[in-house]
Structure 1
Amino acid sequence: MIKNIAFLLTFLLVGGNAIAQQNITVEDIYTGTFSTKGLQSLNSLKNGTEYLVLNYNADRSQTVDKYSYETGEKIATLVSSNDLNLPIRNYILSEDEQQMLIVSQRIPIFRRSANSMVHIYNLNTKTLTPLSENLVRSASFSPDGKKVGYVFENNLYYKDLTNGETVQVTDDGVTNQLINGVTDWVYEEEFSLVRAYEFSPDGKQIAFISFDETEVPEFSMDVYGTGLYQRPYVFKYPKAGENNSVVALNVYDVASKTRKEIDLDRDGEFYIARINYSPNGKLAAQVLNRYQNELDFYYVDQQGNASIAFTEKDDAYVDVTDDLTFLDDGSFLWTSEKDNWRHIYLYDADGKEKSQITSGDWDVTSYYGYDPKSKRIYYQSTEDGSINRGIYSISLKAKGKKKLSSKIGSNSASFSDNFTYFINTYSSANRPPVYTLNQAKDGKQVREIQNNNDLLVKLEDYQLSPKEFSTINVNGNDLNMYMMKPLDFDPAKKYPVLMFQYSGPGSQSVSNSWYGSNDYWHSMLANEGYIIACVDPRGTGYKGADFKKMTQKELGKYEVEDQIQAARQLGAMDYIDADRIGIWGWSYGGFMSSNCILKGNDVFSTAIAVAPVTNWRYYDTIYTERYMTTPQENSTGYDENSPINHVDKLKGNYLLVHGSADDNVHVQNTMQMIEALVQANKQFDWAIYPDKNHGIYGGNTRIHLYNKMTNFIKENL
């Protein structure tokens, strides 16, 4: 039992002195013993030399404070919850930086959405005005700062700040039937889109997406709570092959208060994944077919006429991003995988490609923005190798590329508004996060803001196994891998192996970055006599689009083949016990670990699946069909690769875990898997966590879960 070995000690001889090191425990991990210091979220001001931070203070007040980039010193407090007599949970600054939306209450809906109580605070007059007496969704300023839009009860509204009038833009919104201005569940989850309305630059128009959910099937799950009766939670969830919301692009004219639906002249089903206004007021819409292998870039003129500027096609699918950046002349920057790697392109105002700005056998992994003054583009990429991230800039003419990060590992950047500075976050497998202020023009460090040296000192008291990075040639591909071994590793001994993976399309588990919670747990297991191995199979990211998209229509085939073969090759090593190889994963990783112990029953003796998809027919349209098309068209691809259809192959030890209130991967997946296993007369272990979502957390939940998994591994591996 994990609690009995909490003080297991080993001894290292350092400078002739014996230093006692204790192994990590699950309780250590999930009570914050190894938490890293971070930076609070900051908002850069337009002057590029100052930024705002929402601070939580010792007296339990909250303040929005202004700081200097150069010195890090506080310059002023803009607003305090004590003065407002209102808590500040979040804030949004207007474009002219003269007003704020203050969120005093936030009640989550799904992963990214919430109902919020919002007030408008005028920084000049120090006056506070409620936006609405109701909890609202997705409040935002118009670019001119004269209006605030929001959604209430599925209808779009705006408040005119010049006269205080509240205008109801739509009146046809009905819960679980029709939504205006915010997205349905599947758009929020898979397109990362919540606010589905935009003000034009002059504030004279509001473009918004409407969602007719009438024909979308409902999903219901019980919420048990603590009362006498559970209650059903019902929402629209389109599973693969089922009806989606019927979407429409609408434009509302503020002066005439009239709404017009834009005719996109399309025959088949489609998604409106993004809407944006260009600086000259032209509306752009990114529209995908249901297969998601064709993206049409529409322009809509002031009269509401829509035309396709260009179309991007792919044999598999086209990714949707937020990288679109309009320049002052109407031309725009765009990222694409059209040459097998994600790169930055320049298009003219009519949607014709002018030039490819970045190129090479590496991916642009984050696009940070464009500085019109220096005419330079800032981005993150894998130019230091697929497991690393570096920060770069390049001119609009694709010349003068500069590397702005100095260390190999994982670098990410947050730029000041005018690209004077950036805050670089650096970590590696050997170094916890370090935050520095750097000059954007050359990457030169101005000052160190924050480090985690105290964590490194604390870790001297613990057994922490390092990650050893390598590649392993599996099925003709060099796959990224890391291993974690016991600190007292003896190559003459035989060790059991626990493989960890996620394996989903475009994902990455093998990265040169600091430890997360799972890494600490893996280190704990390593120092109790296990070798941990992690392999990113075919279908994962940052090795080119062909590598990523080769699993198309066969999710769970090639990835599983790679994990099974990697396990075989590990088992052939002198110091690994081939009879004791286990695998675990969460979500897509649970889908994979389930498949591996079934299809690889001669290789894997143990598997843990947390919140797994067990049949792709149970998962949502946008994600599943992007990679698999529909079950009606690809029944073999669905059925051959869903673990629920292979339960008769189970030979080893299998633990199945799910949260009963998982709105994403429904507990239905696990319940159907359980029934299939029972009817196949297969013994297994399982655990359901009541009212827990896909993350399975809250209170002692994570401690309980990871102790359960620890015990299962010790008993069976």
Structure 2
Amino acid sequence: MRKQLPLFLIVLGFLTTSIAQKKKITLEEIWGGTFRTENMDVLRSMKNGKQYTILNFNQSPRSSSLDKYNYETLEKVETLVASSDEIPFFSSYAFSDDESKIVLATEIEPIFRRSRLGIYYVYDVATKNIVKVSDAKIQEPLLSPDGSKVAYVMENNIYIMDMASSTTKQITSDGVKGSIINGITDWVYEEEFAFVRAFEWNSNGTKIAFLKFDETDVPLYAMDVYGENLYPFQYEFKYPKAGEKNAIVSLQLFDVASAETSKVDLGKVEYIPRIQWMKNPDFLSVQTINRHQNHLKLHSVNAKDNSVSVLLEEKDDAYVDITDNLTFLADDSFIWTSERDGYNHIYLYGGGGKLKNQVTEGEWEVTNYYGYDEKGDKIYYQSVENGSINRDVYSIASSGKNKKRLTEKEGTNSADFSTDYSYFINTYSSAVMPYEFTLHKASNGKKLKDIKDNAVLDSALEGYELTPKEFSTININGNDLNMYMIKPVDFDESKKYPLLMFQYSGPGSQQVANRWFGSNDYWHQMLASEGYIVACVDGRGTGLKGRDFKKVTYMNLVKYETEDQIAAAKKLSELPYIDEDRTGIWGWSYGGHMSTNCLLRGNDTFEMAIAVAPVTSWRFYDTIYTERFMRTPQENPGGYDDNSPFNYPELLKGKYLLVHGSGDDNVHVQNSMRMIEALVQANKDFEWAIYPDKNHGIYGGNTRLHLFTKMTNFIKENL
């Protein structure tokens, strides 16, 4: 296995054999799985903290098994359940809180990005009995804490099945497609607040809190599905575009014993992005946020009488991010994260919402909150204290003292802790080291065992033309921006090379990171082997450099980001080995908006751009995401229109490739159609491709291979 190498250097070890002996990466290899990494299957710690479970699959014959392992030995202890003639093949699982029952998912059918339909079974660990929850496909089954009941949603209504009697009760009856949704989020919540199941059992299984959405007045979006039949059909769903009506959301409490549902009065509420029961089964926490998303309230609801009090409020001149970084302790004090001091940090509050202390502080960001070990008084988290392109795992006392770095290798470290915080499994990678998985003691970070690595892939890659990313910073518009560059293996500073820039640029995002390759990285390596220099710059608005750096783009998305990419391209073109007459840029989604804008606004800088699934007007995108950064079009028309590229198609000079999937439920193909029409009416020559029925990811079968072949050819012909 390659030794860990210092960054910012081209390492001679990459060139241990002559270039002539090395192979070039091919598109068929990238999209055919040649470079697929070994990963840890979904691992979940058991309540005892000493064991964990992994879902294992076999391809031939096709089967699945849920197996239990020991942390200390990493050896399998037993198989809890396996597919057989009696038990169907299952693709995911979930325990009840007491681990007596397991929900098994079969026949899964995706709806949108996170939502699924499926046939589900409940397996009893002690008796080995298995029960089908419903003959029809359902959503989001959730066992009560003691495993005696399972709640689920079918056709927008909530049901509860009693496991002992195998009887099912319907607890809501007003669910109607396109109108009322109970217990499941609507499209925009699923996409932007990142959750689907909108109901939760309390800790003793006596109550269920759930959200009800009335989307009757939300405008309908329809897209043609071409399929393989004689006639296409229209797929319709409610999609609130910026400035349009949202679903009316309310909080409901269902009492299991009385079978009665009551509405909780939270006052005038636009969004309810999180609900979470406290340790005390009579108290529910609820987060609400206004439409501008700059004033968040954390409420405490007394489930005995539905009374509501406010625990804390977060306000920001721009917006407040929604996270899952909330932990309630035994005395209902709680841990919370906030950007209030200019960086994302951890705070400790007392039971009534009174601030006890700020736990972490410094000009760096907490990037992940793992949890709190009450017995050892240790909070575990991930941060960028070791440089904004790196990630490390730390522990710290709730007082903010006794901080300890638990990971050692420079790169990206992330942890999965055992329930009792005795152990963690570290996932590590860097720009020169593929993923490796190791077991550590949580108390001091000491490595106990190697679990799995990618030595086989690492060895295989020695036979390919690869050059490591060179990480650096570039000063643009008064800011030191993170950058990486990939040069050809036979790079010669006396020659001139074409430059292809890649970026995403969305608020809080990061592309310049010290981690192992994704598919785009392999493609960029392939292009480098063909004689291109590839560069990526994270401009203003991207993440992990503090609140002000991230939120400077508020009310003017893509304006400053575009200025930074154009300025970076100009500065890089001053390098003696860059051909200033051959500069291209590409991006996907937000990055597609950016690459389009750069080609138009920077038409004296960029000769070529590729935009995949781009937004071309923020007026076409959803309320929650867009208004978080722009407010509404009614309030900020200039912010929406001044940087919408179909409003200035006459600026196009360079070569432009525009790509979209016709079945994109997220960034609608309407964005590209409007761009196409504007360019046609401006009599501008360009190339475009529409992939029938493909969603925002544009994949399936040979689709990605076809897309990247087209993109590669376009670059070779025009750069």
Normalising by structure 2, what TM-score? 0.97
The answer as to whether partners of 1:264 and 1:307 remain within 8 angstroms in 2 is no
Query: Which residue, out of 556, 559, 564, partners 1:557?
Result: 559
Note if 1:284 corresponds to 2:289: no
Deviation of 1:307 after TM superposition, in Å, equals 2.1
The answer as to whether partners of 1:659 and 1:691 remain within 8 angstroms in 2 is yes
1:570-618, Cα deviation, whole Å (9 max, x unpaired): 1111111111110000000000000000001010010000000000000
Counterpart amino acid of 1:403? R
1:444-477, Cα deviation, whole Å (9 max, x unpaired): 0111011111112111111012100000000000
SS of residue paired to 2:603: coil
Q: Which residue of 1 aligns with 2:6?
A: none
Distance in 2 between residues matched to 1:363 and 1:15, nearest whole Å: 38
More displaced stretch, 533-542 vs 414-423: 414-423
1:415-455, Cα deviation, whole Å (9 max, x unpaired): 11111111101110111111101111111011101111111
* Aligned positions of 1:693-704 closer than 5 A: 693-704=695-706
Q: Which residue of 2 aligns with 1:239?
A: 241
SS of residue paired to 2:236: strand
The answer as to whether partners of 1:390 and 1:410 remain within 8 angstroms in 2 is yes
Distance in 1 between residues matched to 2:353 and 2:643, nearest whole Å: 40
Counterpart amino acid of 1:590? G
Counterpart amino acid of 2:48? N
Distance in 2 between residues matched to 1:75 and 1:620, nearest whole Å: 48
Q: Which runs of 4+ in 1 moved over 3 A?
A: 12-19
* Aligned positions of 1:86-485 closer than 5 A: 86-266=88-268, 270-281=270-281, 282-301=283-302, 302-485=304-487
Distance in 2 between residues matched to 1:611 and 1:686, nearest whole Å: 11
The answer as to whether partners of 1:616 and 1:624 remain within 8 angstroms in 2 is yes
Distance in 2 between residues matched to 1:14 and 1:580, nearest whole Å: 28
The answer as to whether partners of 1:13 and 1:19 remain within 8 angstroms in 2 is no
Deviation of 1:210 after TM superposition, in Å, equals 0.4
The answer as to whether partners of 2:19 and 2:465 remain within 8 angstroms in 1 is no
Counterpart amino acid of 1:702? R
Distance in 1 between residues matched to 2:234 and 2:175, nearest whole Å: 22
Note if 1:498 corresponds to 2:500: yes
Counterpart amino acid of 1:93? F
SS of residue paired to 1:340: coil
1:318-354, Cα deviation, whole Å (9 max, x unpaired): 0111110000000000000000111010111111211
Note if 1:569 corresponds to 2:562: no
The answer as to whether partners of 2:182 and 2:213 remain within 8 angstroms in 1 is yes
Deviation of 1:526 after TM superposition, in Å, equals 1.0
SS of residue paired to 1:609: strand
Deviation of 1:16 after TM superposition, in Å, equals 8.7
Deviation of 1:18 after TM superposition, in Å, equals 8.0
Distance in 2 between residues matched to 1:62 and 1:427, nearest whole Å: 28
The answer as to whether partners of 2:583 and 2:607 remain within 8 angstroms in 1 is yes
Distance in 1 between residues matched to 2:559 and 2:87, nearest whole Å: 58
The answer as to whether partners of 2:87 and 2:130 remain within 8 angstroms in 1 is no
Q: Which residue of 1 aligns with 2:61?
A: 59
Counterpart amino acid of 1:277? W
Unaligned runs of 5+ in 1: 1-11
Deviation of 1:161 after TM superposition, in Å, equals 2.5
1:101-122, Cα deviation, whole Å (9 max, x unpaired): 1112211111001111111111
Distance in 1 between residues matched to 2:604 and 2:533, nearest whole Å: 19
Distance in 2 between residues matched to 1:716 and 1:14, nearest whole Å: 30
More displaced stretch, 704-713 vs 126-135: 126-135
Distance in 2 between residues matched to 1:371 and 1:72, nearest whole Å: 23
Identity of aligned residues (%): 59
Counterpart amino acid of 1:430? V
Counterpart amino acid of 2:32? T
Distance in 1 between residues matched to 2:578 and 2:688, nearest whole Å: 28
Unaligned runs of 5+ in 2: 1-12
SS of residue paired to 2:648: helix
More displaced stretch, 646-655 vs 18-27: 18-27
Distance in 1 between residues matched to 2:497 and 2:15, nearest whole Å: 27
Distance in 2 between residues matched to 1:167 and 1:100, nearest whole Å: 20
Distance in 2 between residues matched to 1:368 and 1:13, nearest whole Å: 36
The answer as to whether partners of 2:595 and 2:610 remain within 8 angstroms in 1 is yes
Distance in 2 between residues matched to 1:82 and 1:655, nearest whole Å: 50
1:158-198, Cα deviation, whole Å (9 max, x unpaired): 11224333121110000011100010000000000100011
Distance in 2 between residues matched to 1:241 and 1:423, nearest whole Å: 45
Q: Which residue of 1 aligns with 2:515?
A: 513
SS of residue paired to 2:367: strand
Deviation of 1:19 after TM superposition, in Å, equals 6.1
Distance in 2 between residues matched to 1:16 and 1:255, nearest whole Å: 73
The answer as to whether partners of 1:556 and 1:642 remain within 8 angstroms in 2 is no
Distance in 1 between residues matched to 2:679 and 2:17, nearest whole Å: 57
SS of residue paired to 2:23: strand
Counterpart amino acid of 2:609? A
The change in CA–CA distance for 1:606 and 1:251 in structure 2 (over 3 A counts) is same
Q: Which residue of 1 aligns with 2:526?
A: 524
The answer as to whether partners of 1:144 and 1:201 remain within 8 angstroms in 2 is no
Deviation of 1:144 after TM superposition, in Å, equals 2.8
Distance in 2 between residues matched to 1:433 and 1:84, nearest whole Å: 37
The answer as to whether partners of 2:243 and 2:634 remain within 8 angstroms in 1 is yes
The change in CA–CA distance for 1:159 and 1:651 in structure 2 (over 3 A counts) is same
Distance in 2 between residues matched to 1:672 and 1:611, nearest whole Å: 13
The answer as to whether partners of 1:212 and 1:247 remain within 8 angstroms in 2 is yes
Query: Which residue, out of 590, 593, 598, partners 2:592?
Result: 590
Q: Which residue of 1 aligns with 2:5?
A: none
Q: Which residue of 2 aligns with 1:707?
A: 709
Distance in 2 between residues matched to 1:87 and 1:325, nearest whole Å: 35
Q: CA RMSD in A?
A: 1.4
The answer as to whether partners of 1:596 and 1:604 remain within 8 angstroms in 2 is yes
The change in CA–CA distance for 1:82 and 1:681 in structure 2 (over 3 A counts) is same
Deviation of 1:17 after TM superposition, in Å, equals 7.5
1:511-545, Cα deviation, whole Å (9 max, x unpaired): 00011110111111111111101000000000001
Q: Which residue of 2 aligns with 1:639?
A: 641
Distance in 1 between residues matched to 2:144 and 2:78, nearest whole Å: 26
Counterpart amino acid of 1:401? K
Distance in 1 between residues matched to 2:67 and 2:61, nearest whole Å: 15
The answer as to whether partners of 1:63 and 1:79 remain within 8 angstroms in 2 is yes
Deviation of 1:642 after TM superposition, in Å, equals 1.3
